[in-house]
Structure 1
Amino acid sequence: MKNFLPLLCSTSLFNGLTPEELQTLLAQLGSVMRSYGKGEALVLAGEPNRRVGIVLSGELEAYRPGPQGARIPITHMEPGGVFGDVLSGSSLASPVTVMASVPCEVLLIPYERLLLSDGSPAHQQTLRNLVRTISDKYFSLSRRIDLLVLKSLRAKVCAYLLSEAERAGSLTFSIPFSRIQLADYLNCDRSALSRELSQMQRDGLLDTYKSSFKLLEPEVLKQMVQ
């Protein structure tokens, strides 16, 4: 566990804590480390989840099961990613499945013990971080809804790529989805998405290779969203 303390202190849930404070807090919370193989589910849609998790190594994907076995991508998580913070606070079953994309290690924390503060500064800071993390995910969901209500496919693509560039702090970035997953995320036909990206590349708006993008005309892309 000690090897992961610097990573954990950098996460949204434990930001502001020292490694020493965090080590003490994790012991009090009854946190445990677990390993999962590729394709193994950590959270299953239709079942309750009462644990908050943090990715320590490997990668996870969260998706909503759709008709005929389809998977609607929700998010992709790498080391430091937090999951279950929103789901664990509900009395309802989870609407999403969280699965290991590759072999991974995660830290799991019982949600009830996380909420039951002992009054220590470290625990109080963690609770403030939890509220902020949940709020940030609410606004992220709101942005996704704004994207999906756009009428044209090009507007959806532009809005998504601009948001990813903003997140990366660079006009050159990689997205966490394959083309198939991106089509599902944007709720569009996969062939139509490929044609649109190819046309945007021919128009000199962007360069792309697999999951990597470089926005060449960001101001033009912004106009296409409006």
Structure 2
Amino acid sequence: MTVVQKAAALARSHLFSGSPPATLESLARLAEFRLLGQGEMLFLAGEPARGLFVIVSGSIRAFRVNAKGREQTIHVEGAGATLAEVPVFDDGNYPATAVAEELSEILFLSKADVQRFLIANPAIALNALRLMAGRLRRHAELVDSLALKDVGQRLGRLLLTEAQTLGTHDLNFSNQQLAARIGSVREVVSRTLARLAQNGLIDIDTRARGITILDEQALKRFAEDEV
């Protein structure tokens, strides 16, 4: 990836959008390009954080694993998003493990370079604060969901959220992926999906790992425990 291409990718990112061209070019010259295959690890929870990652294309999933080996997805990010903002500021370790959900292009910026540019560019620092505040809100919603919602409600809410994000009622997830996103196990997700299908809320194509939302309003009521 050329410097010009890197600068263009940074300009499209949520953190660096709106930055002056000269700033983007300077950052681009420091950015390291990485290509990750599906399932390839970007960083491991507990490792010393070396810097910030900008997703150019593809998607990255951040998750934690408990003592029994069960995964809990913390968040999934796509093109334009950044990862590992918090340890860049608090000098801590990576708080979660991150892996590529698909072929993904990444730009890496060292902690020192990011900190220097944030100090010199207050607008970028404000962007960073907004992004971290938004992620904190989503984490609070995740805690609320895990603590106060049952598996069926969490699954319904996830399907609705993904449909809104992707702009389609046709979704493509494995039962294991869904289980990791809602803090459950594959077997429970399978039974819950079957129940939703029996009630006419969704349609399942097991061969293509496809889920189609048939009745959005009914699924919303289900997710909010109104039925």
Contact 1:147 1:160 in 2 (8 A): no
Report the Cα distance in structure 2 between the residues aligned to 1:102 and 1:222, rounded to whole angstroms.
Answer: 29
Comparing 3-12 with 33-42, greater Cα deviation is found at 33-42
Which residue matches 2:123? Answer: 125
| Aligned counterpart for 1:5 among listed residues 4, 7, 19 | 7
The DSSP-based 3-state class of the residue aligned with 1:131 is helix
Is 1:194 the counterpart of 2:190? The answer is: yes
Report the Cα distance in structure 1 between the residues aligned to 2:123 and 2:180, rounded to whole angstroms.
Answer: 37
Report the Cα distance in structure 1 between the residues aligned to 2:17 and 2:165, rounded to whole angstroms.
Answer: 19
Comparing 16-25 with 152-161, greater Cα deviation is found at 16-25
Comparing 16-25 with 150-159, greater Cα deviation is found at 16-25
Report the Cα distance in structure 1 between the residues aligned to 2:103 and 2:150, rounded to whole angstroms.
Answer: 38
The DSSP-based 3-state class of the residue aligned with 2:85 is coil
Is 1:174 the counterpart of 2:174? The answer is: no
Deviation string for 1:102-137 (max 9, x for gaps)?
5544211123332334876xx332212111111111
Letter of the 1:198 counterpart:
A
From the superposition, tell whether residues 158 and 118 of structure 1 become closer, same or farther in structure 2 (CA, over 3 Å).
closer
Contact 1:180 1:190 in 2 (8 A): yes
Contact 1:153 1:188 in 2 (8 A): yes
Letter of the 1:174 counterpart:
L
Letter of the 1:90 counterpart:
D
Which residue matches 1:81? Answer: 81
1:101-116 equivalences under 5 Å are 101=101, 104-116=104-116
Deviation string for 1:46-83 (max 9, x for gaps)?
22213111123444332212224443323334433311
From the superposition, tell whether residues 139 and 21 of structure 1 become closer, same or farther in structure 2 (CA, over 3 Å).
same
RMSD value over aligned CA atoms?
Answer: 2.8
The DSSP-based 3-state class of the residue aligned with 2:42 is strand
The DSSP-based 3-state class of the residue aligned with 1:116 is helix
Deviation at 1:145, TM superposition (A): 1.6
Contact 2:42 2:100 in 1 (8 A): yes
Letter of the 1:184 counterpart:
A
Which residue matches 2:160? Answer: 162
Report the Cα distance in structure 1 between the residues aligned to 2:124 and 2:91, rounded to whole angstroms.
Answer: 22
Query: Unmatched 5+ residue regions in structure 2?
Result: none
User: Number of matched residues?
Assistant: 220
Query: Unmatched 5+ residue regions in structure 1?
Result: none
Report the Cα distance in structure 2 between the residues aligned to 1:201 and 1:213, rounded to whole angstroms.
Answer: 9
Report the Cα distance in structure 1 between the residues aligned to 2:170 and 2:111, rounded to whole angstroms.
Answer: 34
| Aligned counterpart for 1:215 among listed residues 206, 213, 216 | 213
Report the Cα distance in structure 2 between the residues aligned to 1:118 and 1:197, rounded to whole angstroms.
Answer: 46
Letter of the 1:112 counterpart:
A
Deviation at 1:148, TM superposition (A): 1.3
Deviation at 1:101, TM superposition (A): 4.5
